[in-house]
Structure 1
Amino acid sequence: MVNLVAAQKPLLHCLMKMAGIQPHTIEIEPGTVMSIWVPSETIKKPKKSETATAATTVKPTKPVVVLVHGFAAEGIVTWQFQVGSLTKKYSVYVPDLLFFGGSITDSPDRSPAFQAECLVKGLRKLGVEKCTVVGFSYGGMVAFKMAELYPDLVEAIVVSGSILAMTDSISHATLSSLGFSSSAELLLPTTVKGCRALLKVAAHKKLWFPDKLHKDFIEVMFNNRQQRGELLEGLVVSNKDTTIPDFSQRIHLLWGENDQIFKLELAQKMKEQLGENATVEGIKKAARVRSYDTASNINLLYSEEYVLAAMKQLNERHNLCDAHEDHSHAGFVLKLPKQLTKASKAVRGYR
């Protein structure tokens, strides 16, 4: 029987290419390869007269945005609804983190710092000199590490549904409140029941999908289970080993007010720890604020008055949702083009 999730991948790849990005594989170091969707205009194909067969890349000519996915899906699956609207003004890079998509490594290091190191090496090999990083969930932790370790590269970050570090106390408290024995039980479901439980935690509004779709999603999106389980283990650090980095970049935190995994109070506390360079904004009637809510804020990080514009844009998002009965992420995606237009007007209004 046809796997419905796998069957839509060729169509998704075609749509991404039409939107202006193409898949590119790059060797980070011997034994480590990353798959990154890069701007089509940066791909330089060899001429017929040249002996080389592999395509090369050139430096991007527009401001760079790097979209880093979470734990439940690879890059373009997570960010498919943002790419088309961002590529008009930005050079968009969508990586697959190690053990997602086509990215692999033979290194035993499973830390977010290693993910950040490999991604930065890949971006630099692609000619990226400065960028804004958008991270969702697990990708947010990688984004924080990129900003901490490579301030010369990362100018600003947008983080949604993520924290600076998964301390043992936060991990224990979160899993206990949700009724799970481990992060793997929550984030690496093996059954339809487990997949439904994950969706219930992640969504504000109850969503229903047929068992067939859950089974297909598990089969396609949760490969490399052993390595991903090790990634989850590599996230947890001791409370006593945790320090708050002194970030020089602007940081914008977007949070679902009904986030069951990381409460809004945690985001507010994190904002206080990060200092005046950080802003936090809660989204009403939302749980895990996914990529539909984050990428439309990229413009704001390039505006000198980005904080005020962000507040206006988020209010517009709330008003737009209030005019409809459907407050789910899927419902918001259908309204995204209109929302992006309003966000753009908000930025121009504050300049």
Structure 2
Amino acid sequence: MARCLSFTAARDRCYDRNFSAAGLRPTATVLGDGATVHCWAPKSPDPGHSPLLLIHGFGANAKWQWAGYLRPLLRSGFDLYVPDLLFFGGSEAPRPDRSEAYQARCLAAAMEALGARRFGVVGNSYGGFVAYQMAAMFPEAVERVVLISAGVCLEERDLAAGLFVVSNVAEAASILLPQRPDKLRQLVRLSFCNPPRVLPTCCIWDYIQVMCTAHVTEKTELINALVKDRKLSDLPKITQPTLIIWGEQDRIFPLELAHRLERHLGENSQLIVIKNAGHAVNLEKSKEVCEHIKAFFLNFAPKGHKNHMV
């Protein structure tokens, strides 16, 4: 029997209204290779505003991860671009390429089609991998970068070495792409420093059915491509000013990866570690994260090679 009421679907529609009320419109850019990039873009871009691209991580879609950031960033003078990565939300592609480099090329092409040729980038978790690639591949377009809980410095050997709570990619995919309530509960426990105490099974099943069953094969391939043969020595060093934000108690991408990334980037980067927050620091501490994003883009000054704990 078809479900008569879905809390998840209703919430998703509510986010649609929130984004529209904030002055954004849904766009679909079809690229030359047949890929389609869905993006919330300004209805009336302001030449006096700074374009800012917000890239989500694994999860529902872009709206669920960035809804709380719209009003504060818009009030601070940003024109926001909030895309769905390929195989999330309304974005998809016929090509078999699952690399974050391909995601980066598609987003860069969509931004150019939307008229944003020079912009800042904020990438959360997997979105940080894509943001990093965009900065490396398109330095003429990307001005500055914020990476939130983005373990771009991980190596494939870290899995076997015990750095993560999982020891292989298949186990990681079963958690990041939950198809059963126990896996979604596990993901929540790993992602949040203070997870919700009550997660009714009916609500979990509803969320899984609405948000977690589409493009499972393609998303699994994204995870495999992210880790396979990954070496720090192959990671280019981006030159843009970069802010790294991390939850102190991140259990998905341990804090060691934040320090590894800071060492890799050197003096052009700054690391902020937020207390009492896990991997989902963008949701647990959204106000603090948003303030750091605004301060970085509006008044950036290179560090004296110091970290900040807040």
What is the TM-score of this pair, normalised by structure 2?
0.89
Alignment pair present for 1:189 and 2:209 = no
1:74 lines up with 2:61 in the alignment: yes
Identify the residue that residue 237 of structure 2 maps to in structure 1: 246
Please say which of residues 231-240 and 264-273 is displaced more in the overlay: 231-240
1:6 to 9, 14, 22: 9
Q: Contact 1:82–1:296 (CA<8 Å) still a contact in 2? A: no
Matching residue of 2:137: 149
The question of 1:31 aligning with 2:34 is answered: yes
16, 21, 31: which one aligns with 1:18: 21
Task: Note the C-alpha offset of 1:130.
Answer: 1.1
| TM-aligned CA deviation for residue 15 of structure 1 | 1.2
CA distance in 1, matches of 2:63, 2:230: 34
Does the 8 Å CA contact 1:112/1:141 hold for their aligned counterparts?
Answer: yes
Task: Describe the SS at the equivalent of 2:267.
Answer: coil
The SS at the match of 2:88 is coil
Matched, 1:118 2:106: yes
Q: Deviations over 1:132-158 (max 9, x none)?
A: 111111000000000010000111111
CA positional deviation for 1:34: 0.7
Q: Which residue of 2 aligns with 1:200?
A: 189
CA apart distance, 1:168: 1.0
1:299 aligns with 2:291: no
Q: 1:326: which partner in 2?
A: none
Is 1:221 matched with 2:211? yes
Q: Compute the displacement of 1:243 (Å).
A: 2.3
Residue 164 of structure 1 is matched in structure 2 by 152
Instruction: Give the 5 Å matches for 1:52-63.
Output: 61-63=48-50
| CA apart distance, 1:32 | 0.7
Q: State which of 253, 266, 289 in structure 2 corresponds to 1:262.
A: 253
- 8 Å Cα contact 2:163/2:254 also seen in 1: no
1:302 is displaced (CA, Å) by 3.0
Deviation at 1:86, TM superposition (A): 1.2
SS in 2 for 1:226: helix
What is the CA-CA distance between 1:3 and the residue it aligns to?
A: 1.4
Cα deviation for residue 30 of structure 1 reads 3.7
SS of equivalent residue, structure 1 residue 129: coil
* Residues 166 and 235, structure 1, Cα contact 8 Å, conserved in 2: no
Given candidates 286, 290, 294, the residue that maps to 2:282 is 290
The equivalent residue for 1:337 is: none
1:240 CA displacement: 5.1
Distance in 2, matches of 1:83 and 1:106, equals 31
Q: 1:10 to 1:170 in 2, by over 3 A?
A: same
Partner of 2:73: 86
Code of the aligned partner of 1:213 = C
Query: Is residue 2:48 matched to residue 1:41?
Result: no
Residues of 2 paired with 1:275 and 1:176: CA distance? 24
Are the counterparts in 2 of residues 20 and 87 from structure 1 also a CA contact under 8 Å?
no
Alpha-carbon distance between aligned partners in 2 of 1:262 and 1:290, rounded to the nearest angstrom:
14
Q: Give the match for residue 332 of structure 1.
A: none
Q: Rg: which structure is higher?
A: 1
* In structure 1, distance between residues paired with 2:106 and 2:47: 19
Instruction: Report the Cα distance in structure 2 between the residues aligned to 1:248 and 1:165, rounded to whole angstroms.
Output: 16
CA contact (8 A) 1:141 1:165 kept: no
- Structure 2 residues not aligned, in runs of 5+: none
Partner of 2:200: 210
Matched residue, 2:85: 97
Q: Is the 8 A contact 1:200 1:206 kept in 2?
A: yes
Amino acid at match of 1:298: I
Cα RMSD between the aligned structures?
Answer: 2.3
How many residues are matched? 297
2:262 to 268, 271, 279: 271
